[in-house]
């Protein structure tokens, strides 16, 4: 996990949050882990936190038109961009996958890896706050300070 924290550019004060963010519900069921110790809730939180950070950056860059703000947010936060951010961290190698997920290499298709990235961001927010989230989102090019 240390190499993931280094790639993120911040360390977790509560390593259990990072572990939870990287634990799929299928793995938790198979391993007999407590029902609440998997990534699902953190992914929902991370989705909202990413939206907030992106919206704040768009508004801070000077945008004030509601339609334009919405379109820029939609373009900044989509499955492909979140997936690319996850891939740039090699996130799939850190996630604790269920046996079937691992056999099917479920992270190679669909939204699964983007959801894992959202869970990571949710955990990062709880552990390190919004400034750390913004730093990671800047590094992943999901948000920028420039006007588009």
Give catalytic residues, as residue numbers: 47, 118
Euclidean distance between CA atoms 11 and 65, whole angstroms: 37
Tokens of 132: 């750390």
Phi and psi, residue 120, nearest 5°: -60, -45
Sort residue 4 into left (φ over 0), alpha (ψ -120 to 50) or beta: alpha
């Amino acid at each position: 996990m240390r190499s993931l924290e280094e790639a993120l550019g911040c360390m977790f004060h509560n390593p259990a949050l990072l572990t939870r963010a990287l634990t799929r519900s299928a793995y938790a069921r198979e391993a007999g882990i407590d029902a609440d110790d998997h990534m699902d809730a953190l992914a929902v939180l991370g989705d909202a936190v990413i939206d907030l950070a992106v919206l704040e950056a768009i508004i801070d860059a000077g945008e004030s038109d509601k339609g334009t703000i919405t379109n820029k947010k939609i373009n900044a936060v989509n499955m492909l961009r979140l997936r690319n951010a996850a891939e740039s961290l090699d996130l799939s190698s850190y996630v604790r996958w269920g046996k079937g997920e691992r056999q099917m290499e479920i992270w190679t298709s669909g939204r699964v890896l983007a959801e894992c990235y959202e869970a990571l961001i949710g955990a990062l927010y709880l552990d390190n706050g919004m400034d750390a989230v913004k730093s990671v989102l800047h590094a992943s090019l999901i948000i920028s300070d420039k006007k588009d």
